[in-house]
Structure 1
Amino acid sequence: MKNPRLYLRQILEAADFILETAHSLQDLQSSKLIRDAVIRNFEVMGEATKRLSPAFRVQHPQIPWRSLAGFRDVLIHDYDEVAIEVVWDVIQNSLPMVRLEVARLLEYGSDLG
């Protein structure tokens, strides 16, 4: 198993990209390039989450690991049914907290190896 720090950095970088790229719902609706880039970065976040050990995820319940991994699965497998408004809602209401908690773990986490 690789060092969790690697996967946390991937999650943080993807979250930063999304927050810096998607400025509005209109951005997502009007630009396929932005929409695809944002969705791809959510997929990276979910995949990196899945690569963290179950024990690590249990030790850090402040981050909604199951939701991150589940959102990735929905975006990949049910891509034709995902409303862009749902993606925007996640960006607005969940992603800033996830980003903050992952950044805190990277900065202060003593169990990261």
Structure 2
Amino acid sequence: MADCINKIEAFVGNISFEKFVKDDKTASAVVRKLEIIGEAAKNVPEHIRQKYKNIPWKDMARMRDKIIHFYFGIDYEIVWKVIKKRLPKIKQQIKNALKACNA
């Protein structure tokens, strides 16, 4: 998950929302990484989810489900808000959890 978040950050860099939605390659790559994050969140063992309740496991899984099952188009405004507002916090939470597990 941390690797996917790092890649999303690298993909979008400092581009604007307008450039993001016009760049199909970048938007598609970001959406794919969000799918992978959501799938990974679904497969985190329950005891880990319980130990790190501050990480929004269910929200990540739901985002994946919305992307996968949204056949008529993706709302890139929601995707943008997730990558700009939610992912930085999630990244730090995952980083802290990994650090605690490896300590």
Q: Deviations 1:79-100 (Å, cap 9, x if unpaired)?
A: 5243101100001110000001
Provide the aligned C-alpha RMSD in A: 1.6
CA distance in 1, matches of 2:58, 2:71: 18
User: Which residue in 2 is equivalent to 1:47?
Assistant: 39
**Percent of aligned positions that are identical:** 28
CA distance in 1, matches of 2:78, 2:71: 12
Pair 1:36-2:28 in alignment: yes
Shift in Å, 1:28? 2.0
**Higher relative contact order (Cα pairs below 8 Å, separated by 6+ residues):** 1
Pair 1:90-2:82 in alignment: yes
CA distance in 2, matches of 1:28, 1:75: 17
Shift in Å, 1:107? 1.6
TM-score (norm 2): 0.89
TM-score (norm 1): 0.82
The runs of 5 or more residues in structure 2 that have no matched partner are none
Matched residue count: 101
Q: Give the letter for the 1:53 counterpart.
A: P
Q: Give the letter for the 1:105 counterpart.
A: A
User: Which residue in 2 is equivalent to 1:16?
Assistant: 6
The runs of 5 or more residues in structure 1 that have no matched partner are 1-10
CA distance in 2, matches of 1:64, 1:27: 28
CA distance in 2, matches of 1:35, 1:103: 25
User: Which residue in 2 is equivalent to 1:4?
Assistant: none
Pair 1:100-2:85 in alignment: no
